[in-house]
Structure 1
Amino acid sequence: MKAGSRFLNAVSAVALSAGVVSLSAGIGIIASTSVANAAVIQRIDVRGATRVGTEAVRSNLTIQPGKAFTNSDIDDSVKRLYGTGYFSDVKISVSGSSLVVNVSENQLINQVVFNGNRKIKDDKLKTVVQTQPLGPYSKELVDADISRIKAAYAAIGRSDVQVTTQTAVVGAGRVNLAFVINEGDRTKIAAINFSGNHAYGDSRLAAVLSTKRSNPLSFLTRKDVYNEDKLKADEEQLRQFYYNHGYADFRIVSSDASLNEQTNEYTINIAVDEGQRYKFGDISVDSSVAGVDAAELKGLVTTSTGSIYSAREIQKSMEAISKRVSAMGYPFARIVPRGNRDMQTGTIGVTYMVDQGERAYVERIEIRGNTRTRDYVIRREFDISEGDAFNQEVISRAKRRLEALGYFSSVNITTAQGSAPDRVIIVVNVEDQSTGSFGIGAGYAVGGGGLVLEASVEEKNFLGRGQYIRVAAGAGTDNSQTYNLSFTEPYFLGYRLAVGFDIFKSTTSSNDFYKYDEQGGTIRVTAPITEDLATTFRYTYKEIKYKNNGAYGANGVRGGGDDVMSAPYLDLIAGSPWVQSSVSQSFVYNTLDDRTLPHEGIYASFTHEFAGLGGDSEFYKIYGKAKYYKTLSDELDVIGSLSVGAGHVMATGSNLNVFDQFQIGGKEIRGFKNNGIGPRMPTNEDPLGGTTYFTASAEASMPVPGVPQDAGLRLAVFSDAGTLYGNDVKNSAGVQGSDMEWRASVGAGIIWASPFGPLRFDFAQPVVKQSYDKVQQFRFSIANQF
């Protein structure tokens, strides 16, 4: 019986008991309603609540004995009882002075199971459905759970999943519920097509999107899963790409995705209108806030007349001005960029207006969408909290920080009206993504030394706490072994201090002459100075052991051969084990637009180190490196880079040890083995290292011609040069290679943005080298190692 009919029966009974006789249906309804408004019952009679209990039913009624009730009270009571999920039917009527509530109870769930699921495990599905053991069996809730399961499968590209249910009665009003799942085939993306684009080709634009065309490794990345929300995020990425490359009038005309049900593949079509390309015109800063001098703010602006228009640079300028003005005591100041388009000259002049904005405060920050990352990990990226003055530029900076973490596939921050006109609610919508990666590296020394393999596993968001952990191990056919464990807590004790440690161990055998073992650890603390500059303090303790493998006799003569080594050279390995105890400070300046595939920006580091806090090493060492990236061609996506490096070490005691000096090679000058250049022992050519080095490199990379750009394959050509010289090791007179002698190489490589992380395959040919240098022409490694 419907709620309206039940209500009519109830009020009719009340009308008769009050002595009101209706002459027509219309008059009867009016009279009954009038009497119902004044009706009072004396008791409530609950029938059919055998498991739930009569008190549980009474507690969900809005009608109470001795109090007047209306038709709305009856409707509300019916809705509340249905809302509990414990009842399949509810009837309410009035008999005399009693309210009679008849309920039919739903069966209780004894067990929930999933059958047929392979791609999504039971543990995951249990968090998706709301039907739970010991809860009521509700058809409406089960139907909603079926929709939730389908949505979970659609998120991994299985939109054609079929879900049904089966129930089995187990007695005592309980049932077992099974969700039967036919997972179907995974949907794919056959093509991503663009129309209206002239400045950039389809392949270049496809590389901007996070949604990718299906390929043989898509089952690992899941980037070929179509999702309407994901497509909207891709549209925004496309807009930002054009806005940052001079196309201020760019717009997306339309976008759609069509599914071919026979092949189970989507085709995505995006129509765009690029508009013309602009450069910056006149740049100025004005202020209407008393006490704020616009001329003092002009130096914070990063946009410059004549450069390509970029929305990113405008945003950075706004944030810098906002931060300075807020520090001056104007937290509500608003920075508004006003553009002046000149279609004839193709320029946009920008005036940064500093106005006194409306007073508004943050009421709360709501975090949504995070299934793995903890709320506090997201909140701590905001330089603002509940009760603070609302500042839009602070919100933009927080969004950029969240995106830079690499924890999320999308970050969207919006605002909503709070409980008062001057209150704002900040809503943060994020979507977690995989943050674990497996790295591999390999090399082969053509001139000897054999194959070297390295493997590492890292997690950037350990347990959703934002912590970083990395475990790595390596081995070579020359009996070398390396082991590393690193851990970082990025917000120590709630402060923006990254505190961590590294534990390492390595073993190297050198041409039957000695065995070198090194083990130790580092404790480090990193503090930000500005958004782009940070400093790190380290304390490092190493224990180093040299072991004579017995290749030389007491007189320094190699057994079984004619090579002779003078006894003083054995002093180089005497006194093992050695202890090195040092402190260091590093500065890192980073303006890269993307850490995985930088197109623009600078990454520079400088370190100075002092050893002598106990132990056997006494030195002062300085070294650094800078790398500059620049897009050489937007259309072809050609990226150029230049890098330089240098270092020098000096003894603060008597002499340096072998392990105190610099060792460089294939990582800095491709085409050579690690430790492949520099001063060496004259007899067996084992490396001694050097006191001074210089390196330089030039490289250009572009997508591999003929290969879809979203495959992540790039071709690189490069040229490296460098030198390592000087020697201050005791009893090492007469070593070869201690003079300043340059090496150089040229080569080509393939960079692959693989599901395991960015990998790189290089082949280099030394063009300037010394006879005793160790060559390694092929190298397989992680693509970006800053």
Structure 2
Amino acid sequence: MRAASSFLGAASALALSTTMVVSGAAVVTIGTVEMAQAATVSRIVVKGNGRISASTVRGNITIKPGKSFTNDDINESVKQLFQTGLFSDVQMQVSGNSLVVTVQENQIVNAVVFNGNKKIKDEQLEQAVQTKALSPYNKPQLEADKRTIQQAYESIGRKDATVETQVVPLDNGRVNIAFNINEGDRTDIKSINFVGNHAFTDGRLADVLQTKRTNFLSWLTRKDVYNPTKLDADQQRLRQFYYNHGFADFRIVSSVADFDPNANAYTITITVDEGARYKFGNVQIDSSVAGVNSSELRGLLQTRKGDTYNAKDVEDTVEAISDRIASQGYPFAEVTPRGNRDFQNHTIGVSYLVDQGQRAYVERIEIAGNTRTRDYVIRRAFDISEGDAFNKVAVREAKRRLEALGYFSSVDIDTRQGSEPDRVILVVNVQDKPTGEFSIGGGYSTDQGATVNASITERNFLGRGQFIRVSAGGGSDSRNYQVSFTEPYFLGYRLAAGFDASHIDNSYFDNYDYSQDSFTLRASAPITDDIRAGLAYTFERTDYDITDSDDLSQTYKRDLSVDDRITSSVTASLTYDTIDDHNLPREGFYAKASAQFAGVGGDADFLKITGKAAYYHPIIESADVIGSLSAGAGQLIKTNGSVNTFDQFFLGGETIRGFDTRGIGPRAYCDDDTSGCDHSYDDPLGGATYLNASAEVSFPMPVIPQDVGIRGAVFADAGTLYGLDNNPASDDRIVGDDFNIRASVGASIIWASPFGPLRFDYAVPVAKEDYDDVQNFRFGASTNF
């Protein structure tokens, strides 16, 4: 080698032979090179390339003919060539005035196939792996793809799935890649254990978690899939649960998931330190903002001295005060809760400090991660937009709204510095999740017998945030079809608007059939976080068909004889709702009042005013024993002449258990033993006024694991239905048109099944009339509201 003439300005030369590892992919040998501080070459010679052109090699190195280079440039050039993924080996050597680059090309992947997979589709696996057709064959990448596939199977509860790769050489440096998959069996969660808990039972804490123990329905619910990320989220739910029940010192000592390969099952053990239970001490508001009067804000406090400490109440108070002072013209004011903990008396005093926060504006809101949901659906969750004053409380509220939508598996909102010191950029990262659902199920109710129902639901239609559902069902004596659509932000406002259309054919009444078509336009808007107002218009056409007139009263014959009876009505409603969980209410209050006016055209003329309320509260919190009280009332007022029998209220087993549907209240009653009666009928006529009340205590069923979703209950119901506004025909024998209380007591089994909530009630009437229709056992869907 002519080192002296090859390196300009070289004071000395070194003979260097070295090896290096590039990106963990291969060991690279840099051939013997005489090095100095700087050198130049007149040309670059590429050897060993076949499919890949020499220009591609030259274009991926930093060394250029005629320009000086050093050993660092050689190292960087080798790295760049390996990063292309085109080569399995690269060597560089200076020979005279030439840099010789010798490469060994990677083989090219001709095709990638997956064998043995059924639970995960080919399309999903193709997106997950990095080895793809026409990409360079890379053995380390192939190993990484194997791990990726195994992790995908772990995420669906199949930890013992195995993956093997098969490389089939072809001509011209090509290979076929096959991933041979053994999906294995479902990995169970054998048990979820809690250590250190005293205030709440294991079952109550397990109910807080989304991860569930394997049971006989896990194949359907898929809630027993172990996932570290899911378990981390469950730990946060556990913390929030304790913080909201007075345990401000609560901490999770450890969370361990032990896998038993022989049983192919996890045992999860969560060790907790509950700490003491606290109550609120002194609560005050201190303001340093001129013009903000602390005493005027005290009515917004949801934290009161003597109440059990609740972190959510503190957060709600901060939001309420922040909203109030912002509306008063102080957009930059911040509310900070400061706790004063008394360890001896187990109280926490809270001071809400109102300070003038840092003046900052929202420069822009960036949306990332959404592959399906449109940006504007995410943006409209914010009460602030570009140019508005930055408000941390508004950002937290937006995060809660986005999580409550149910469109995303994760929602994160971060901030970063904007273009100016007083500018803030909000970065919203979301991850879409499936929002469509197809369900099919069957059941049996004592009203309609065996039924089958199927529905298709999409809660984020076309990524627009719209709700749509199409359902159909029925039994041997009935058919029903329904379409519902809701736009949650009508005309860009937080106004939910939509429609319902349905068709029903029923023939399960003894003496008549009916067909009903209904169409409803509805809208609702929030007044506060807990109060919502609604308005709806309903057009309903009902056609009755008498099948046996001999056993019908004159009143029924008259009212059933009307062909295509039209009811055109407007309904206004107001709802107050603080229930914690509508699937299984434990705490909170629910109330709804509505007024329906029929007479906007059509055949019906009446005003119906109804109201109902329910209150839930734990009786024995540690054992998850829940008490509830509920009540309802209704009044029908005729506005023009008489009303039809079927316009009135009917009451029975759905409200006062132990009685048949339409089992109580006024009725046209006649049988062959009645003096002057020459035929038989027993027709409920409905009533103009009703009152009802219930008390219930529900509890986990002994022995049965709580996460199966089966609970027991005992209850007492009472109510009455009276008053006639439908002018019964003169020859009807009328009974029950008076204020007589009916009452019952009983027991229930409630099951939150994968097919929907089911309820089995057995009730015994303790106060009834002789002509009432009794039904002790009742089975059907369970609804709370």
Q: What is the CA RMSD across the aligned residues, in angstroms? A: 3.3
Residue identity in the other structure for 2:689: T
Instruction: Give, in angstroms, the shift of residue 349 of structure 1.
Output: 0.8
SS state at 1:267 partner: strand
Q: Supply the distance in 1 between the matched residues of 2:180 and 2:374 (Cα, whole angstroms).
A: 32
Residue identity in the other structure for 2:485: F
Change (3 A) 1:32 1:278: same
Contact 1:441 1:781 in 2 (8 A): no
Instruction: Give, in angstroms, the shift of residue 248 of structure 1.
Output: 0.8
Query: Match of 2:110?
Result: 110
Match of 2:530 among 512, 525, 532: 532
Instruction: Give, in angstroms, the shift of residue 308 of structure 1.
Output: 0.5
Q: Supply the distance in 1 between the matched residues of 2:434 and 2:38 (Cα, whole angstroms).
A: 62
Instruction: Give, in angstroms, the shift of residue 485 of structure 1.
Output: 2.6
C-alpha deviations, 1:691-731, integer Å up to 9, x for none? 22222111111111223322322111111222222222255
Q: Supply the distance in 2 between the matched residues of 1:110 and 1:632 (Cα, whole angstroms).
A: 67
Instruction: Give, in angstroms, the shift of residue 268 of structure 1.
Output: 1.8
SS state at 1:762 partner: strand
Contact 2:258 2:266 in 1 (8 A): yes
Contact 2:189 2:267 in 1 (8 A): yes
Match of 1:701 among 680, 698, 701: 698
Instruction: Give, in angstroms, the shift of residue 119 of structure 1.
Output: 2.1
Question: Percent of aligned positions with the same letter in both sequences?
Answer: 54
Residue identity in the other structure for 2:574: F
Instruction: Give, in angstroms, the shift of residue 473 of structure 1.
Output: 4.2
Q: Supply the distance in 2 between the matched residues of 1:252 and 1:432 (Cα, whole angstroms).
A: 29
Q: Supply the distance in 2 between the matched residues of 1:537 and 1:53 (Cα, whole angstroms).
A: 72
Instruction: Give, in angstroms, the shift of residue 244 of structure 1.
Output: 0.9
Contact 2:38 2:70 in 1 (8 A): no
- For structure 1, which segment, 51-60 or 24-33, has the greater mean C-alpha deviation from structure 2 after superposition? 24-33
Instruction: Give, in angstroms, the shift of residue 603 of structure 1.
Output: 1.8
Change (3 A) 1:114 1:361: farther
SS state at 1:685 partner: strand
1:774 aligns with 2:773: yes
Instruction: Give, in angstroms, the shift of residue 418 of structure 1.
Output: 6.3
Change (3 A) 1:450 1:394: closer
Q: Supply the distance in 2 between the matched residues of 1:428 and 1:672 (Cα, whole angstroms).
A: 54
Contact 2:7 2:36 in 1 (8 A): no
Instruction: Give, in angstroms, the shift of residue 117 of structure 1.
Output: 1.4
SS state at 1:677 partner: coil
Residue identity in the other structure for 1:436: E
SS state at 2:735 partner: coil
Match of 1:627 among 595, 607, 614: 614
Q: Give TM-score scaled by structure 1 length.
A: 0.88
Instruction: Give, in angstroms, the shift of residue 293 of structure 1.
Output: 1.7
Query: Match of 2:758?
Result: 759
Instruction: Give, in angstroms, the shift of residue 316 of structure 1.
Output: 0.7
SS state at 1:595 partner: coil
SS state at 1:259 partner: strand
Q: Supply the distance in 1 between the matched residues of 2:409 and 2:777 (Cα, whole angstroms).
A: 35
Residue identity in the other structure for 2:709: G
Q: Give TM-score scaled by structure 2 length.
A: 0.88
SS state at 2:763 partner: strand
1:688 aligns with 2:691: no
1:586-597 alignment runs, 5 A limit? 586-597=573-584
Q: Supply the distance in 1 between the matched residues of 2:372 and 2:211 (Cα, whole angstroms).
A: 22
Q: Supply the distance in 2 between the matched residues of 1:564 and 1:715 (Cα, whole angstroms).
A: 41
C-alpha deviations, 1:549-591, integer Å up to 9, x for none? 2x33xxxxx3xxxx6855x753222330112222222222211
Change (3 A) 1:23 1:516: closer
Q: Supply the distance in 1 between the matched residues of 2:57 and 2:661 (Cα, whole angstroms).
A: 78
SS state at 1:88 partner: strand
Q: Supply the distance in 1 between the matched residues of 2:9 and 2:438 (Cα, whole angstroms).
A: 81
Change (3 A) 1:79 1:307: same
Q: Supply the distance in 2 between the matched residues of 1:613 and 1:251 (Cα, whole angstroms).
A: 60
SS state at 2:78 partner: helix
Instruction: Give, in angstroms, the shift of residue 374 of structure 1.
Output: 5.8
Instruction: Give, in angstroms, the shift of residue 211 of structure 1.
Output: 1.7
SS state at 2:184 partner: coil
Instruction: Give, in angstroms, the shift of residue 75 of structure 1.
Output: 3.6
Change (3 A) 1:147 1:339: same
Contact 2:339 2:348 in 1 (8 A): yes
- For structure 1, which segment, 650-659 or 693-702, has the greater mean C-alpha deviation from structure 2 after superposition? 650-659
- For structure 1, which segment, 741-750 or 671-680, has the greater mean C-alpha deviation from structure 2 after superposition? 671-680
Query: Match of 1:186?
Result: 186
1:742 aligns with 2:741: yes
Residue identity in the other structure for 1:327: S
Query: Match of 1:555?
Result: none
Query: Match of 1:436?
Result: 437
Change (3 A) 1:665 1:71: farther
- For structure 1, which segment, 602-611 or 393-402, has the greater mean C-alpha deviation from structure 2 after superposition? 393-402
Residue identity in the other structure for 2:305: T
1:576-587 alignment runs, 5 A limit? 576-587=563-574
Change (3 A) 1:227 1:699: same
Residue identity in the other structure for 2:240: Q
Query: Match of 2:722?
Result: 725
Q: Supply the distance in 2 between the matched residues of 1:204 and 1:14 (Cα, whole angstroms).
A: 83
Query: Match of 1:487?
Result: 485
Query: Match of 2:676?
Result: none
1:398-477 alignment runs, 5 A limit? 398-407=398-407, 423-428=424-429, 432=433, 436=437, 438=439, 442=443, 444-445=445-446, 451-453=449-451, 455-457=453-455, 459=457, 461-462=459-460, 465-476=464-475
Instruction: Give, in angstroms, the shift of residue 409 of structure 1.
Output: 6.0
Query: Match of 2:631?
Result: 644
Q: Supply the distance in 1 between the matched residues of 2:392 and 2:632 (Cα, whole angstroms).
A: 40
Query: Match of 2:26?
Result: none
- For structure 1, which segment, 709-718 or 657-666, has the greater mean C-alpha deviation from structure 2 after superposition? 657-666
Q: Supply the distance in 1 between the matched residues of 2:662 and 2:631 (Cα, whole angstroms).
A: 18
Q: Supply the distance in 1 between the matched residues of 2:780 and 2:417 (Cα, whole angstroms).
A: 51
Q: Supply the distance in 1 between the matched residues of 2:418 and 2:147 (Cα, whole angstroms).
A: 32
C-alpha deviations, 1:602-632, integer Å up to 9, x for none? 2222222222232212222221211111122
Query: Match of 2:239?
Result: 239
- For structure 1, which segment, 373-382 or 149-158, has the greater mean C-alpha deviation from structure 2 after superposition? 373-382
Q: Supply the distance in 2 between the matched residues of 1:727 and 1:390 (Cα, whole angstroms).
A: 60
Query: Match of 1:673?
Result: 660
Instruction: Give, in angstroms, the shift of residue 636 of structure 1.
Output: 1.2
Match of 1:508 among 506, 509, 519: 506
Residue identity in the other structure for 2:612: K
Contact 2:7 2:38 in 1 (8 A): no
Query: Match of 1:202?
Result: 202
Change (3 A) 1:389 1:105: farther
Query: Match of 2:28?
Result: none
Query: Match of 2:6?
Result: 16
- For structure 1, which segment, 205-214 or 388-397, has the greater mean C-alpha deviation from structure 2 after superposition? 388-397
Instruction: Give, in angstroms, the shift of residue 303 of structure 1.
Output: 0.8
Query: Match of 1:572?
Result: 559
- For structure 1, which segment, 293-302 or 657-666, has the greater mean C-alpha deviation from structure 2 after superposition? 657-666
Change (3 A) 1:53 1:245: same
1:80-479 alignment runs, 5 A limit? 80-93=80-93, 100-362=100-362, 377-385=377-385, 388-407=388-407, 423-428=424-429, 432=433, 436=437, 438=439, 442=443, 444-445=445-446, 451-453=449-451, 455-457=453-455, 459=457, 461-462=459-460, 465-476=464-475, 479=477
Query: Match of 1:4?
Result: none
- For structure 1, which segment, 123-132 or 410-419, has the greater mean C-alpha deviation from structure 2 after superposition? 410-419
Q: Supply the distance in 2 between the matched residues of 1:755 and 1:669 (Cα, whole angstroms).
A: 27
Contact 2:131 2:141 in 1 (8 A): yes
Residue identity in the other structure for 1:767: V
Residue identity in the other structure for 1:617: A
C-alpha deviations, 1:151-177, integer Å up to 9, x for none? 111112222322121133454544332
Contact 2:690 2:719 in 1 (8 A): yes
Residue identity in the other structure for 2:695: A
- For structure 1, which segment, 577-586 or 749-758, has the greater mean C-alpha deviation from structure 2 after superposition? 749-758
Change (3 A) 1:611 1:709: same
Change (3 A) 1:436 1:24: closer
SS state at 2:37 partner: helix
Q: Supply the distance in 2 between the matched residues of 1:408 and 1:43 (Cα, whole angstroms).
A: 56
